[in-house]
Amino acid sequence: MSYVVRRWIRPRNLWIVVLLVVSGCMASGRQLYNESEAERARIVGFENIRIQADAPRPPRAVYDPWRPVTKKAEPAMLAISGGGAGGAFSVGILSAWSDLGTRPTFDVVTGVSTGALIAPFAFLGPEYDQRLRRLYLSDQSRNLVDIDWRGFGIFSPSFLKGEGLRRMVEANITDDILRRIAHEHRSGRRLLVMTTNLDTQHAVVWNVGAIADSGSAGALELVRQVLIASASVPGVLPPIVIKAVVDGKQIEEMHSDGGSSAQFFTLPEQLILDPNSRKENLHIYVIINNALIPEFAMPAERALPIMGRAYSILLKTHTKQGLMALYNFAQRSGVGLDIASIDVQVPYSMKDPLDHQYMKIVFDRGYERTMNKLIWRKRPVFK
């Protein structure tokens, strides 16, 4: 053994080697399956309730049930982004929009991460604004912080246990909510949520309305699993295991934050550009629960603050690219587009990701800008 190696492997460093070896060798506990099986996996009791966001154009029989059915002169779509506590910004916009009396009945609502938690209530309408305000502006959010002390994520899948988030979703996504979503789905409206399949590295779009309307005994639990998975930031909250079947074999897929794949999403182009649709009158509203402008801060010279800062830059860049792609598409196709984002720098600390004061500030910003009719922009603004 060389002098350099002997010098490095001292008691203070040996624990690092042990942890790396142990964590790398620990079995996942899930039955192994391959890529081919993953592509063919289905969830028992459900048909055509999910698609890969990057899948090639499917046959008409597959995507027809996903297309909204409407006779309105100007169909409206709402896309709600990720952003954690920044979801209070969306809640402010929705509340003011309702108070103004100009909020559309959206034909399609999509949600990612915190946007997935807001989407069902935005979909069902203004009568649920108070519930959203309670979720984002009361002390209930503090109950989501349930730290898992088992090695700070080294011997566990995440820093938080995730039980607080599960309890919150179970308390708010009930049988009655499911019935209401199913009713709206049958009327032609669509509620879609995105997760990321960690096994396949594909974004998965779930037709929540179709799940609710399936009549399956497992519909409520699956909707809850999808919403929790979409909001489960990797490393912070544990991924959600969703059971599927392929060739008679039961497998367990691992799903996590939809924001890992995209910070927001709209309908696939093949659904928007159908020759029989009124695409020239379609209007898309996008709410970004983050700031797109540069935000100055000096991270501490330690690994976690630096990683957190770099990750926030990555998400911001990812969001900008998605908005530019959507803007260019809207310009080419004649689709109407309005974008809202947090347009001021609000003090925020990763040490307190559910800071009540931060949520109150961004809620007020969304509410006031909407009431003053200053919230929407026709093109992305990054400065």
pLDDT in the model for residue 371: 98
User: What digits encode the pLDDT tens for the residues 108-140?
Assistant: 999 999 999 999 999 999 999 999 999 999 876
Between CA 122 and CA 136 the distance in angstroms is 14
The type of residue at 351 is K
Instruction: Judge contact between 165 and 237, C-beta under 8 A.
Output: yes
Percent pLDDT > 70 in the chain is 81
Answer whether residue 229 shows pLDDT above 80: yes
Mean pLDDT to the nearest integer, 161-186: 93
H or E element at residue 225: helix 219-230
DSSP for residue 144: G
pLDDT in the model for residue 58: 65
pLDDT in the model for residue 59: 65
pLDDT band, residue 3 (cuts 50/70/90): very low
pLDDT band, residue 149 (cuts 50/70/90): very low
Cα 123 to chain center, whole Å? 15
Residue 48: which region, alpha, beta or left (left: phi > 0; alpha: psi -120 to 50)?
Answer: left
Per-position DSSP letters for 311-358, written without gaps between them: HHHHHHHHHHHHHHHHHHHHHHHT-EEEEEEE-S-----TTSTT-HHH
Mean pLDDT to the nearest integer, 213-241: 92
Instruction: Judge contact between 68 and 108, C-beta under 8 A.
Output: yes
Answer whether residue 381 shows pLDDT above 70: yes
Answer whether residue 144 shows pLDDT above 80: no
pLDDT band, residue 372 (cuts 50/70/90): very high
pLDDT in the model for residue 54: 82
* Average pLDDT across the chain, whole number: 84
User: What digits encode the pLDDT tens for the residues 8-53?
Assistant: 445 445 444 444 444 444 445 788 989 999 999 999 999 999 998 8
Mean pLDDT to the nearest integer, 280-289: 89
Mean pLDDT to the nearest integer, 95-107: 97
User: Which of 257, 236, 251 has its CA nearest to residue 350?
Assistant: 236
pLDDT in the model for residue 26: 44
Q: Which range, of 4-8, 85-89, 101-105, averages the lowest pLDDT? A: 4-8
Mean pLDDT to the nearest integer, 347-369: 85
pLDDT in the model for residue 19: 44
